[in-house]
Amino acid sequence: MSDSSKAVCYYHKNENSIITTMEMLKTSFAGLVLKNPLIVSSCGLTNNADNNARLAQAGAAAIVLKSVFEEQIVRESQHLAQTGAHTEEADYMQAYLQAGVLNEYITLIKQSKQRCDIPIIASINCNTPGNWEYFARAIEEAGADALELNVMSISTDIEAPYGAFEQRHIDILKAARKETRLPLIIKLGNNLSCPVRLINELYANGAAAVVLFNRFYHPDIDIDKMEYTAGHIFSEPADLSNALRWTGIASATVKNANIAVSGGIQNGKDIVKAILAGATAVEVCSAIYRHGDEWITTALGEIENWMHQNNFGSIASFAGKLNAKAPAHADNLERTQFLKYFGSHL
């Protein structure tokens, strides 16, 4: 029996219940079978194989490696082109395998796979299609279990046609899909006109799952120096609300939607909320930064205790129980509830 299994079940009086516990918390995400719904999201914590082994030991079900950025890949590609490092695709890939950015990332994947017995998900932070997709091929060859495309972008072009921003997500997915057979996970920002329509189109074009939502850089202003500064670094409890709303709506509307909630998760109860809304997993990093690896063990214990108290024997038995399929739940997720709330206060 592994130490990680014991960690997940530390709150049991005897180890005979461990098999039951492991079965209770099982879920699936992007075609991956997970021992529980808790995925460590891409962050500085996941940029080291030793850290990843420790997170797995604490009970994490999967790890998303720290993102490599599109700009890093393009910059290195341009450098190779300028130095004449390749003349055709085979030479091009060989040159890249020897280059810094890809070589370091491949090493991280391989070392993490060796040290962890849970899925390792690679991550590319991108905002345009083109010039980086071959990176996905190398990631697959290195042994990653899936690839998350973290579309970190906003639309600021005043002349951009309606829908062009959403189409960019689909184009990014299509470009990566041509290069790899890995499950592709799309992490979306919350600045979309109709997330449900885009999620549906992403599934139609080969996405295995989506994550709601990206947490954008939060700018602030130092009024004394009159310059921009960084705002809140970590997610806050209020960040969870929007993800719950759209998870509840999308899981009820998009056929076979596979959704992970990201942002605002503070404890195991928040993970339960995400699953009730229709998620099958969550991605977490801020809470682990704040409280350490032991937070994972504690959160998993809170999930299982809640399941016992409410007589649920599996994650699937309550996933989506409060999504928008029921009209009463839809009222709480859409404008009707807004009107009801303010009507009682005016």
- Return the pLDDT at 89: 54
pLDDT digits (tens, 9 = 90+) for 6-27: 434 433 434 445 546 788 999 9
pLDDT digits (tens, 9 = 90+) for 94-107: 455 445 778 899 99
State the architecture of 3-12+25-343 in CATH terms: Alpha-Beta Barrel (3.20)
Each residue of 310-344: b (16+ CB within 10 Å) or e? Answer: eebeebeebbbebbbeeeebbebbeeeeeeeeeee
Global pTM reads: 0.84
pLDDT digits (tens, 9 = 90+) for 281-298: 999 999 999 999 999 999
- Return the pLDDT at 17: 52
pLDDT digits (tens, 9 = 90+) for 226-258: 998 876 677 787 889 999 999 999 999 999 899
- Return the pLDDT at 7: 39
Residue 217 neighbours by CB distance under 10 Å: 8
- 257 closest CA partner among 36, 29, 65, 23: 29
